[in-house]
Amino acid sequence: MLGCAAGGAGASACESALMRQHLIAVLGAALILLASAMPRAAEAAHWQAVLVAGDTAQPVFDNASRAVAAWLVEHGVAEADIHRLAASAGRRDRAVEPATLRRVLGRIAALRSGPGDGCFIFITSHGGRGLGIYLSREDEMLSPKALARALAQGCAGVPTVVVVSGCYSGSFAQLPMAASNRIVLTAARADRSSFGCAADRTYTEYDACLLGSLAHATSWQTVFDETKDCVSRREHQLGETASLPQAAFGAAVRDLPLQF
């Protein structure tokens, strides 16, 4: 540190230099504190997934769940960490659990993630306006509030990506689902229907666009942007009313890379 002799113009210049040095040090410390307090893009080394096909009225939901499971395995997620639930689950297929409300919420709550973990939740089915996502196995509805509670238990504080594909699913991109550690992508606005649930289709339009984006995107923001644009193009081609897919990006995961 500088030292200043007493008296004279030289002393005043020296004191000014000391003040500048002190100010720079204070500002530097403040910037370091500010940077440490700002949310950063979280990353996870170990991911667990829960995939739900909620209805059997059309094959599109089971098809999408299987395709997402295959994509996760291709990207390094262990099969033991991928939990599939489906309305169509049979007694002989132990790899797939029945998609009842109790089992879906219980499976998510049981993830019990910790530091270094991440959660990926994919739910595809029909939706009810103001009600949530339909689980046909026992004629139940999965609400945003119930899903948020389960996530708070199983995925508290860890990077979490939730995809809810169904009519009126935009309610899942709002509170209480929105959280700093969560990215939520939905197929439609809360007051709009989605489309593509037909027996002759492989996937719904949203799920087809989502899977297409997952094949090459590098971030979840890119996945949302490309999926939304893809759905919009298809709606325009088919003359459908815009479904307006929604998203909520939490502050801590806003720049989360598409990496497993």
pLDDT at 94: 76
pLDDT of 27 above 90: no
Work out the percent of the chain whose per-residue pLDDT is above 90.
74
pLDDT of 40 above 60: no
Work out the percent of the chain whose per-residue pLDDT is above 70.
82
pLDDT of 223 above 50: yes
pLDDT at 191: 96
What single string gives the DSSP state of each residue in the chain?
Answer: -----SSHHHHHHHHHHHHHHHHHHHHHHHHHHHHHHS------SEEEEEEEE---SSTHHHHHHHHHHHHHHHTT--GGGEEEEETT--TT-TTEEE--HHHHHHHHHTT---TTEEEEEEEES-EETTTEEEEGGGTEEE-HHHHHHHHHHHSTTS-EEEEEESTTGGGGGSTTT--TTEEEEESS-TT-------TT-SS-HHHHHHHHHHTT-SBHHHHHHHHHHHHHHHHHHHTPPP---EEEE-GGGTT-BS--
